[in-house]
Structure 1
């Protein structure tokens, strides 16, 4: 492996470097406190409580610590990984003791019994982050294969139809796809007013006149009946998230049957999209027929065009295309999500809202003619207040901070994809050269465009600002813990997630040049990753800070600073999984051509170095393997 030595000494480390290392340390200490106060004496979450019967919420529990392995993999303290393992094992134990209405547990064989891949995608982020953190852990590898094998043709639970290349239910899991009863999933504790009335009716052929009618308990039961008739079987775009489960198994094993599964399933959905005149259908029956349970309609499925709209529809095509590019190196797969996003933009309505600014309102949903009187703030409406419906498209709204558009550009590095992101940003009214100092949502949303402004040279203070924000977010959680006496005042399924003190987005963007993974089931996609050969572990060595300040089609600029008192050596890998290759690196007036996916960099105490690296992307077989194995 080519060796590079930092020769520039710095009397005072830059502020971003000091703040970055401080954040690593502070979050590790915060995790210590969190574990001591919010898990029981056996290391188990306090939810579900004894006597609870249900099917929802296990993913929310795991979301309370899902990013701890990622923090460790970037350079966090080893005790963060230890805490993550213990919390996960405790959650599995509790989930395996919690009954469902179906006569088996919420968690069976360490995997959720039957759930949609919006929630399963969230819960399995922990699994994927453990691949980055502990690829040499036999339990991690074994689970990765076992979980993926639930969706192979040989699996007894029959989740997947290998002949038709379809997942056989909108909900699936370790007990198969047939435990889908919407009265069990939706009625308690939420009710139709939570999941459905606020979105309007998913269909227009029912006997209800308005969405508000769903608040009548009798109508609610009728809705669940229709849901079971139309949405309890067959394939939906969200199931494309299963490609991450398969890609995760491939990164551990290199077994081609997992990569072939990803490509075959993605191509099956592309064929359905071609059959549907270029728009991805949101429901496919078990026979492979589009609209088999919705009277031939390509919309009206679970998490489909007529309910959640693009926010949910865009997940699967984006995640699956990213995974296929990672595995195969062919960026043509990105045309799948690109075509869907372009269709929405083409249907947009430009509105002049002031003298200098026009806003493009882009539709997020599609549905049949009928009543569209419901609460949908921020969207275009008719003069009578009804939600604007045009040729089937509705909920026209600004398309701000679209993660799918960002991920499309990030995978392609295509200028047209980058210009699309700028257009989407500029059609909105927000000033993207600022960082929200409030605690972010569970998705860590709100800073992708600000980060891109930094990469474009428009927001030079972004590194310090995002680190300050993440530190403030962490402190808000610690203040909450102190204010409630270090004992949760509520113990619902979200109690861990709402107190998790780890905020990783700023560290991910700055150190690895990476966007937040698609939250509902995407893998980390990155420009670089680090390993500490001295301790034989992933992540930046103690005291070393990293900043990726350029990401474009040619490559990256990366600055490394040793803020500590000990000389350090690290391996810089091209790509999160070694999928890229360093073709040329310029530094300190020198130039080298490694022709490899990794280089060793020695950074003495108090030294800094900036590498300007050309990358050949997606040319190597991706793997979780540590560079010395």
Structure 2
């Protein structure tokens, strides 16, 4: 069935009520226009015509291929939301250019990072996941998705990253060259000066005072001992961080629908549930190749790579668990898949105590026991609530002391931190809690507030990008001083393409987590006239309310001269199903109800009109896919097969 047939078969309404555009609608379209121009200026400044980046001629170690991908990944996501058409081709070209460039540096092999951990894989391959939303029928991306998944399912004969019998990834350091059971000094050379101020990975490194909280990686003797001990205790076996690999497998599934990929995710999450149960409920952070907890660590369940003793502590344990649990729900529709994440949050909460009138919880476990107590982070239960819409998950947010969050926020001038909060977080996505309160009816001014803050952020980033600091010719010094090393993050630091609020307001969801979370959302949009992803030009969308069985959103066509046709999709990946659509006036009077019964619904917007839709839905009842109203990659993309050797 062709697109025209699909379109004619969709339930639809035609909006005819003239709206004076609300302030949020004008601000949202202004932000789109600004981001489109900023993205093009950003690419022009840092990208050569062949898609490679203006940078140095060499780069050592295993760290770094994730960083350029992170700097440019929002080209693809902005296009998928409704950014300019050129952004699609820019995103594809830059992805290809970075992949080739870092292959030449020696870090990427067969188009995938040769070996590194799943915190960094998770960060870098967000770009790859967003290409599924922006260019779902790009044959290279489709083919690579399957090939990359094979690296972790055991179906690539060259790479043995996964033990299918024991359901474990065989090292914290994996990639297209397989598990890295022995790391070299060269692998970590770019970290040395930076890690001098970090906690030591073990208590018993000769010459290191663990209690100081610092470890002199720049000292040659200490460095040799660190690498030796890491190889003995950390380099073999599975760690919770590897749960981020479920994003890669889920991404491939949404191209192909291959049940084997779905089962891999469900089975791998189940394996970690069983390990936590065997450990008294707390998830262990190191599993040996035999499947035993603490096999290379004197039987200790703590002390693994990016685990309970690592400087990041709980963050790099709970975030992969949340990401994987959400992926398992997406694939199965079973909310019980959130169990592992919920249990870890509750156990961590129960280990806390009151300190200065606030409840603090441990983020690390040393040989001496639980330590490093901090205010718990409500980000993770918010993400769970977005999927479950369950009061128990909302309660996990609410129980965190609200005194640490100012709900009556005046937007500050941007000064190097996150909009609204002022907190400098990865990819400027730190306003998840504020969005949650808006969805719960506690912050009605949030749409204008976050859009204003995002606009200020883009302006500030453009100013920085245009300064001497933003000149890429100043980043290419020879040698590996700390200043030269930090240039690997410069594209992220200078990027003006940040749009957390725009995404939250249009999709009805928080922005993905930074280390490999897929971009879940209650709704998504397509431009029916242009046959492309995203909102049509001149159309603004606002998700005003979420419930377990409904979403309420407003659409406004601020264009006074052209009709727009917006296809609304139930879920980012079509995983939900619309049932009925009730049309409300701008004053919220019910006008009529239409039976939808599908994952797509068409809203026709005459010039200058607006419409409010209350859409009932069944959630997580459809197979998640990158299919669009005009094509499904599993039907439209031919997989290329090489000849038998």
Counterpart of 1:428?
A: 404
Q: CA deviation at 1:109?
A: 0.9
Q: Root-mean-square deviation (CA), in Å?
A: 1.8
Counterpart of 1:482?
A: 466
Q: State the secondary structure of the residue aligned to 1:185.
A: coil
1:347 aligns with 2:347: no
Q: Which moved more, 1:296-305 or 1:77-86?
A: 77-86
After superposition, where does 1:294-305 map in structure 2 within 5 Å?
294-305=297-308
Q: State the secondary structure of the residue aligned to 1:531.
A: strand
Counterpart of 1:290?
A: 293
Q: State the secondary structure of the residue aligned to 2:187.
A: helix
Distance in 2 (alpha carbons) for counterparts of 1:51 and 1:447: 37
Q: Which runs of 5 or more structure 2 residues have no equivalent in the other structure?
A: 1-9, 419-424, 477-486, 585-590, 632-645
Which of 309, 313, 316 is 1:309 aligned to?
313
Counterpart of 1:321?
A: 325
Q: TM-score, normalised by structure 2?
A: 0.88
- 8 Å CA contact retained: 2:209, 2:215: no
Which of 38, 47, 54 is 2:46 aligned to?
38
Q: CA deviation at 1:37?
A: 1.3
Distance in 2 (alpha carbons) for counterparts of 1:510 and 1:349: 36
- 8 Å CA contact retained: 1:433, 1:453: no
After superposition, where does 1:41-440 map in structure 2 within 5 Å?
41-47=49-55, 49-98=56-105, 105-155=106-156, 156-178=158-180, 180-181=182-183, 183-186=185-188, 188-191=189-192, 194-195=194-195, 197-199=197-199, 201-207=200-206, 208-212=208-212, 214-215=215-216, 216-307=219-310, 308-351=312-355, 353=356, 358-369=357-368, 392-400=369-377, 402-424=378-400, 426=402, 428=404, 430-431=406-407, 433-435=409-411, 437-438=413-414, 439-440=417-418
Q: CA deviation at 1:433?
A: 4.0
Q: TM-score, normalised by structure 1?
A: 0.90
Q: Which moved more, 1:263-272 or 1:481-490?
A: 481-490
- 8 Å CA contact retained: 2:567, 2:601: yes
Counterpart of 2:446?
A: 462
Distance in 2 (alpha carbons) for counterparts of 1:65 and 1:419: 36
- 8 Å CA contact retained: 2:579, 2:616: yes
With over 3 angstroms needed to count, the CA separation of the structure-2 counterparts of 1:591 and 1:51, relative to structure 1, is closer
Q: Which runs of 5 or more structure 1 residues have no equivalent in the other structure?
A: 99-104, 370-391
Counterpart of 2:513?
A: 518
With over 3 angstroms needed to count, the CA separation of the structure-2 counterparts of 1:293 and 1:197, relative to structure 1, is farther
Residue deviations 1:324-369 (CA, integer Å, cap 9, x gap): 1001100001011000000011111123x4xxxx311111111211
Q: Which moved more, 1:17-26 or 1:168-177?
A: 17-26
Q: CA deviation at 1:41?
A: 4.5
- Count of aligned residue pairs for this structure pair: 590
Distance in 2 (alpha carbons) for counterparts of 1:480 and 1:517: 25
With over 3 angstroms needed to count, the CA separation of the structure-2 counterparts of 1:465 and 1:430, relative to structure 1, is closer
Residue deviations 1:7-45 (CA, integer Å, cap 9, x gap): 2101x3111111111111111111111111112353311
Distance in 2 (alpha carbons) for counterparts of 1:217 and 1:108: 30
With over 3 angstroms needed to count, the CA separation of the structure-2 counterparts of 1:434 and 1:177, relative to structure 1, is farther
Distance in 2 (alpha carbons) for counterparts of 1:290 and 1:435: 48
